[in-house]
Amino acid sequence: MGQTRFLAVDPGETTGWALFEEGTPVRVGQEKGEVNIWKLIDDLHLDLPLNFLVIENFRIRPGTNFAWNSVFPANVIGALKYWAYVHGVEVVLQEPAVKTANVAKMGVKKSNRSNHAMDAVAHGSYFWKKYSGA
49: domain CATH number is: 3.30.420.10
Cα 86 to Cα 78: distance, rounded to the nearest angstrom: 12
Cα 46 to Cα 39: distance, rounded to the nearest angstrom: 12
Domain coverage including residue 12: 5-132
Tens digit of pLDDT for each residue in 80-110?
A: 999 999 999 999 999 998 877 666 666 555 5
What pLDDT, on the 0 to 100 scale, is given for residue 104? Answer: 62
Average pLDDT of the segment spanning 4-18:
95
Q: With 80 as the cut, is the pLDDT of residue 111 above it?
A: no
What pLDDT, on the 0 to 100 scale, is given for residue 114? Answer: 63
Mean pLDDT score of the chain: 87
Distance of CA 109 to the CA centre of its chain: 20
Q: With 80 as the cut, is the pLDDT of residue 117 above it?
A: yes
Average pLDDT of the segment spanning 51-62:
89
3-state secondary structure of 31: strand
Cα 80 to Cα 55: distance, rounded to the nearest angstrom: 8
Q: With 60 as the cut, is the pLDDT of residue 35 above it?
A: yes
Number of domains in the chain: 1
What pLDDT, on the 0 to 100 scale, is given for residue 64? Answer: 75
